[in-house]
Structure 1
Amino acid sequence: MAINLEKGQRINLEKSNGTKLQNICVGVNWGAIEKKGLFGTKKEPVDLDASCAVYDDKKNHIDSVNFRKLQSNDQAIKHSGDDLTGDINGDDGLDNEVITLDFSRLSPSANHVAFFINSFRGQDFKDIPFASIRIYEGTPTKVSQEFARYDIANDTSFSGNVSMVLGVFYKRNEEWKFSAIGAPTKDKKLEETILTIQQNHL
């Protein structure tokens, strides 16, 4: 049973049978904006970008994965590719962008892996009809077990913002845990969000 993430919440990456999770997917699903005009409703494409930044134990930024760089240097993190439109014809139930993470392949120097979203064209989260993020075990096309979900579109705190920090996987005593942040930011660019995370969320 997936939990609806709340800000500040921490979750253990432990499966129901007691084993530790080695591979996770972070999927983002969103819809195009409906604009009402003189001649009916028009769909405006929405380009949200799911990204990931890796930091060492001294909070130095050491790697990133995003629509410009689809794989981390250690090949532990992979991005499914850039979706420029969102779901045009309503929610199809599938994630538009998925980032996969294999903890066993992560560089030993990786201590924090942060996930965040930027609205590429600066479209306000409040105008997007639906947008959710989920963390699950499986592959980009097959969900084995969903662990957590975050609903952005229906959270009023995201109104007026175009970027948000989902959360951070962090290493403690050689075990990976997850801290849900769910914080909107005023950042307009990926590079700014990477810095915001470094300064405020590690």
Structure 2
Amino acid sequence: MAINLQKGQRISLEKSSGAKLLNICVGVNWGAIEKKGFFGTKKEPVDLDASCAIYDENKTNIDTVSFRQLKSNDQAIRHSGDDLTGDLNGDDGLDNEVITVDFSKLNPKTNYVAFFINSFRGQDFKDIPFASIRIYEGTPTRVTEVFAKYDIANEKAFEGAVSMVLGVFYKKNGEWKFNAIGNPTTDRKLEETIKTIQQNFL
């Protein structure tokens, strides 16, 4: 059974069998905005960019994976590529962008792996009908087992926000854990969100 995460919840990357999760996929799924007009409802494509920032124990940003750089320097983190539209025909249950992490291959200096999304065209999160993040075992095209998931869209609190910190994997006593954040920020650019995470969420 997948854990339905709440904001601020922290979990260990451990399956019900007690085995540790070492290879995970973080998938982000979102929908296109519906605009009502004289001639019915029109779908407006939404270009969200899922990214991942890597920090050392001193909270220094040592690498970033995004649509601009699809692999981390240590090859442990990979991005599936840029989705420019979101789900135009309603939720298809599939992730629009997936970032995979192999914790066993991470640069030993890595202490935090933070996930965030930016709205490339500046579309407001409160207008996006649905968006969710899920952590699962498998590949970008095949889900073996969903470990945890949570919804991150369509809330009044998100009004005016065009970027969001999804969550942070962090190392504690040699083990990886996950902190579900789901906080909107006022950042307009990817580089600004990397700094916001560094200052507020590690």
Displacement of 1:160 after TM fit? Answer: 2.3
Structure 1 position 131 matched with structure 2 position 141: no
The CA deviation at 1:156 is 3.1
Structure 2 residue 109 is matched with structure 1 residue 109 = yes
> Using the alignment, how far apart are the partners of 1:117 and 1:45 within structure 2?
16
The SS at the match of 2:110 is: coil
Q: How does 1:169-188 map to 2 (within 5 A)?
A: 169-188=169-188
Instruction: Name 1:52's counterpart in structure 2.
Output: 52
Amino acid at match of 1:183: N
Q: Which amino acid aligns with 1:47?
A: D
1:69 aligns with 2:69: yes
Counterpart of 2:39?
A: 39
Backbone CA RMSD of aligned residues: 1.0
Aligned to 1:15, the other structure's residue is in SS state coil
TM-score by structure 1 length?
0.97
Matches of 2:149 and 2:19, distance apart in 1: 21
Residue 155 of structure 1, CA deviation:
3.4
Q: Deviations over 1:97-149 (max 9, x none)?
A: 00000000100010100000111111011111111111111111111221221
What are the superposed Cα offsets for residues 155-191 of structure 1, whole Å, 9 maximum, x if unpaired?
3322321111111111112111111111110001100
Distance in 2 (CA, whole Å) between partners of 1:8 and 1:34 is 30
Does the residue aligned with 1:198 lie in a helix, a strand or coil?
helix
* TM-fit CA distance, 1:5: 1.6
Letter in 1 for 2:112: H
Shift of 1:153: 1.9
CA contact (8 A) 1:118 1:190 kept: yes
CA distance in 1, matches of 2:72, 2:124: 29
Gaps of 5+ in 1: none
**What is the SS of the residue equivalent to 1:100?**
strand
Q: 1:92 corresponds to which residue? A: 92
> In the aligned structure 1, how far is the partner of 2:142 from the partner of 2:159?
31
TM-score (norm 2): 0.97
Structure 2 distance, partners of 1:77, 1:108, is: 14
**Shift, 1:92, TM fit:** 0.9
| Aligned residue type for 2:14 | E
Are the equivalent residues in 2 in contact too, given 1:152–1:158 (CA < 8 A)? no
Runs of 4 or more off by more than 4 Å in structure 1?
none
Residue 119 of structure 1 is matched in structure 2 by: 119
Count of residue correspondences: 202
- Counterpart residue number, 1:192: 192
Identical aligned residues as a percent: 80
